[in-house]
Structure 1
Amino acid sequence: MEAASTDRMSDVADKQLLNHALIVKDRNGPKAYWLTAEVYTLGRDASNSIRIDSRFVSRQHALLYRVSDSNGGFFYQILDGDPNGNPSTNGLYINNQRIDFFDLQHGDEIRLSSDVTATYITTPKTFDYILSTYERTKIAG
Structure 2
Amino acid sequence: MARLIIVDTRRPVRQINLDLPLLTIGRDGGNSITLTSERVSRRHAAIERVDDGHILIDLDSLNGTFVNGAPLRIRSHRLRHGDSVSIGRCELRFLQKAGTSLAADALRLLTLPAELPRRGWGSPQPAFA
Say whether the fold is shared (TM-score over 0.5): yes
Structure 1: unaligned runs, 5 residues or longer: 1-18, 70-74, 82-86, 137-141
Output the CA distance in 2 between the equivalents of 1:53 and 1:91: 15
Question: What is the CA distance between 1:124 and its match in structure 2?
Answer: 2.3
**How does 1:51-130 map onto structure 2 within 5 Å?**
51-69=34-52, 75-81=53-59, 87-99=60-72, 100-113=75-88, 115-125=89-99, 130=101
Higher strand share: 1
RMSD: 1.4
Question: What is the CA distance between 1:96 and its match in structure 2?
Answer: 1.4
Higher helix share: 1
Structure 2: unaligned runs, 5 residues or longer: 108-129
Question: In 2 relative to 1, CA 47–31 (structure 1 residues): closer, same or farther, beyond 3 Å?
Answer: same
Matched length: 104
Question: In 2 relative to 1, CA 66–135 (structure 1 residues): closer, same or farther, beyond 3 Å?
Answer: closer
Question: What is the CA distance between 1:123 and its match in structure 2?
Answer: 1.5
Q: TM-score, normalised by structure 1?
A: 0.69
Is the Cα–Cα contact under 8 Å of residues 7 and 106 in structure 2 kept in the other structure?
A: no
% of aligned pairs identical? 29
Runs of 4+ in 1 over 6 A off after TM superposition: none
Output the CA distance in 2 between the equivalents of 1:34 and 1:130: 13
Question: What is the CA distance between 1:59 and its match in structure 2?
Answer: 0.5
Question: What is the CA distance between 1:98 and its match in structure 2?
Answer: 1.2
1:132 alignment counterpart: 103
